[in-house]
Structure 1
């Protein structure tokens, strides 16, 4: 490896170790985490501290010997901006290198009632407002979380049925709307971004992640890494067929899981107004006389989709997120019974069905984290900007 590439690699390793460490870490701790020598780590840390990317805490006595100097990513040095475009709202979040929230904006509206251009103009406005809260910080970039399939080559939204969007160049159009700012702007699937926060909580684990939001989707995580698939669409559980020739789905096909347990489908089944907010769905279901029926539909439909996935993937843990998490205790017996009838996984031992409690808005946080990632992947670029 050439020296310049080696330096980039080692700086990235040190900064990444600090990001993932559950608490501030010493130089010796970093050497153990990265398997680099202590002199090498000390040199890299000095470079990162000098560039303002890492900060030192007050020395802490660790008994005999020299006090430990705790290290952590530097607060208030850079701004990364995440967007979430959901069926009933657009949210924007700005974070710094530590992941600390610096500014947030949310506007509620039925996205499918307007045009994609209207929504992207709103998103651009929220980005500017978040930026205006911390005008002194350099912007790393902007990433939008969108509930749809995304073209792997140029980031266009191929289809987002829950928004009634098709062939929308989200990243490119946001970049134009944010001009003259020339920040990197991208778009990713909301579920792929949501699972990043769960991976942080379950380092190195393998699990099936299923999230209820605008639609129903998720991700396959194998030993801490997301399975992408050939087109980057692995984990589209919402379009697993659970009833052949069943209800029509917004994607235009019939019998999809989303046709039975998506946000809008559940609202209709429970006789709720389609104006009910995503964040209020579970609470409104609790008041509905159709709750028991809805819980049964969710459990059986989700159980079939999970059983099919487990037969193919040979996993033993399912993590429920979004509006599925608060009702996990109620639907788990029905999901488990359905899985045991249809999945080979039941023969290998008990299936773990767990809920994700980490964040109320994981897609938004995941988008901001994705916008920040270039700093951890290519720290030399940011070090040179400080010179």
Structure 2
């Protein structure tokens, strides 16, 4: 799963978004569009407002989508974010359905498929506000809110203090999904953000590779990202969607907690992962996961961080297809101080599918086997597993890892093939 994401990630980043699409987009008058945007922004730039909070209707944002038609709010929303960032204001959204139906105008937007580009100091609060991703994005790659702010990914610039509160993004899967191939499609990409959060928000009805992501590459600039009290609902639609992670964290000192991850599609039960932790001092706790293939990856990767430390995974409840936690270590990488405790896992294979999708069950599994990898001080305690259905013989086991760990008071019902899977 991780390898697929990384490969497509670099394909999409180093070309334009057209590299991820089969048909070309013809953009007429691109320079003129940018000039018109600057002209429209200038109308607000000199306006001084006393209030700390500004409603998006002031900038022309219209919540008028009626299920078929509505105003494309991409330009008005970008103007609002730019103004509020510059003037240290909080943006509140009008009540209703807010359509987004075109790409942004910057060179970075062209390169990465950005719809709205994030700025430092951006705080967005919804009031029964719901973004609708329009059918313009059918079978296309896109990032709704993007911190990928330069064409060259090695030069992404730092952002800080970005927050989303009480927003909903409806990705409109009935008219916008992966049709001809796998696409890079994301909701919020923090990029190199310090101090960011998403709370009390809903991501639903989509065909995505990722709903929320943070951090990029090996610089470890991003930190203190909090994803909490959100709902991730049915984000895998098509069989072209080969790989999905709802929350991908490559940021230090970050937490994912009190979220609901719910999937009802068969494809999601075969390919979807609730979360991935790729950096140090990170936590995943008090989450509920239903209908995914696995709960999470914990990963030390060559292109990100060779050594990660202090990872805590606890008090999660997961009803999934395969093993709950997959351990991914690239060659010459290390994970140190990993605590896994008090998780409740139920595993159920999906009938009619091969070993490719119905793998080892239980709590732990090695995602790949590379040389010179180490996990130091892994403690596994007070976890419970219930394997309800196993299609592939030999896979109903507690653990499938060659790494040593402290095994303390972990219980497994129906682990008919033993405590450890043996090749």
TM-score range, shorter chain: under 0.3
Q: Tell me which protein shows more strand as a share of its residues.
A: 2
**TM-score, length of structure 2 as denominator length:** 0.24
Q: Tell me which protein shows more helix as a share of its residues.
A: 1
